[in-house]
């Protein structure tokens, strides 16, 4: 956003320090995805803490069956749209498939997302990414890590399956979280893992964790906007709840989501996975 917009904003911009303080104070962090200026504006005005420009735009905007075809140019375009609509939320952008295979490649692509208005970039992967995370953070690009179900790895995983169910897989995930934190990651998305592991991973590190199908004990929650408005065709993952039901407007749905995340009402047991 511009300096003029910032001056007119009715709340202080959310920063990574604020998110860290929220974790320490036990205040849950509410996150939603957005892909355009209008919805970004509405969720910012509703009081969302973090907006994620997800590569889920491959599914949501483009009608693809995975996030794999999404390009860096498309991400840059949507980040610039969302940045125009947002005033105060912390803005995270996904790095798409194949754009962070080496530290140098990651830096070049992360820089284009930061120039478009992102405050942080998100990468999918475990310990193998530690060197890249350190490389980015040293060069002033804040990093959100992403563990558990990695949608960009759908073809190596053999489908969108719950992760970390065995004791071995759970142990690896906790170690990966600690390694990525040590490398400088300042936020961590945990996707589709048993609630018990979401709790254990969160307790094993100091940075805030944002869960999607990772149980109620993460520092915050994220949902894809179209999913939580009931606007995505087809069968929804178990962790999705329709927040538009019973509301009179989309703003009401955003506010209800934020309130249920803050009070711990969402996610309920029906949105969670067991080991
Ligand atoms: N609309 C949308 N919502 C998402 O949450 C999302 C996307 N798109 N695209 C990128 C990824 C793909 N995601 C997905 C997709 C499907 C499941 C799913 O069907 N999970 C099963 C569990 C399967 C199992 O292990 O048995 C479920 O019942 O929830 C989970 C995450 C999450 N992300
Ligand atoms: C579901 C969230 C975490 C994501 O990565 C996306 O929207 O692409
Ligand atoms: Mg993503």
What integer pLDDT is reported at residue 8 of this predicted model?
62
Q: What is the DSSP string of 115-164?
A: HTT-SEEEEE-SGGGHHHHHHHHHTT--EEEEEES-GGGHHHHTSS----
Q: What angle do CA 95, 97, 102 make, to 5 degrees?
A: 75
Domain extents in the chain: 3-271
How far, in Å, CA of 117 to CA of 144, rounded? 16
| pTM (global) more than 0.80 | yes
For the annotated catalytic residues, the residue numbers are 191
pLDDT profile of the chain (275 residues), mean per 10? 64 97 98 98 98 98 97 99 98 99 99 99 98 98 99 97 98 98 99 98 99 98 98 94 98 98 98 95
Residue-wise pLDDT for 237-259, tens only, equals: 999 999 999 999 999 999 999 99
Q: Which residues line ligand 2 (CB under 6 A)?
A: 33, 52, 54-56, 94, 189, 191, 212, 222, 224
Binding residues for Mg(2+): 55, 94, 124
Centre of ligand 3 to C-alpha 7, Å, is 31
Q: Which residues contact 12 (CB under 8 A, 6 or more apart)?
A: 18, 88
Helix (H, G, I), strand (E, B) or coil at 94: strand
125: left (phi over 0), alpha (psi -120 to 50) or beta: left
Q: Return the CATH superfamily for domain 3-271.
A: Phosphoenolpyruvate-binding domains (3.20.20.60)
Q: Which ligand is nearest to the CA of 187?
A: 2
What integer pLDDT is reported at residue 234 of this predicted model?
85
Q: For ligand 2, atom 7, which residue shows the shortest CA distance?
A: 54
Say if CB 230 and CB 183 are below 8 A apart: no
Centre of ligand 3 to C-alpha 144, Å, is 11
CA nearest to 151, candidates 244, 69, 238: 69
How far, in Å, CA of 83 to CA of 248, rounded? 27
Q: Give this complex's ipTM.
A: 0.96
Nearest ligand 1 atom, CA 213: 29
What integer pLDDT is reported at residue 118 of this predicted model?
99
């Amino acid at each position: 956003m511009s300096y003029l917009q910032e001056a007119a904003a009715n709340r202080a911009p959310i920063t990574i320090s604020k998110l860290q303080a929220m974790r320490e104070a036990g205040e849950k962090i509410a996150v939603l995805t957005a892909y355009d200026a209008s919805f970004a504006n509405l969720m910012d005005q509703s009081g969302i803490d973090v907006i994620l420009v997800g590569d889920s735009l491959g599914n949501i905007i483009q009608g693809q069956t995975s996030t794999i075809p999404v390009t860096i140019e498309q991400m840059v375009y949507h980040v610039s749209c969302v940045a125009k609509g947002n005033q105060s939320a912390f803005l995270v952008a996904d790095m798409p498939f194949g754009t962070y295979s080496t530290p140098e490649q990651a830096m070049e692509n992360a820089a284009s997302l930061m120039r478009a208005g992102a405050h942080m970039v998100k990468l999918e992967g475990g310990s193998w990414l530690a060197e890249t995370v350190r490389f980015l953070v040293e060069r002033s690009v804040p990093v959100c890590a992403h563990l558990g179900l990695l949608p960009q790895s759908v073809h190596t995983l053999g489908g969108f399956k719950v992760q970390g169910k065995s004791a071995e897989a759970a142990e690896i995930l906790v170690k990966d979280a600690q390694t990525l934190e040590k490398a400088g990651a300042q936020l961590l998305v945990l996707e589709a893992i048993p609630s018990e592991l979401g709790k254990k991973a969160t307790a094993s590190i100091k940075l805030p964790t944002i869960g999607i199908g990772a149980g109620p004990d993460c520092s915050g929650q994220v949902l894809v906007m179209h999913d939580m408005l009931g606007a995505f065709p087809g069968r929804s993952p178990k962790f999705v709840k329709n927040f538009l039901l019973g509301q009179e407007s989309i703003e009401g749905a955003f506010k209800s989501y934020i309130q249920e995340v803050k009070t711990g009402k969402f996610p309920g047991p029906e949105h969670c996975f067991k080991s």
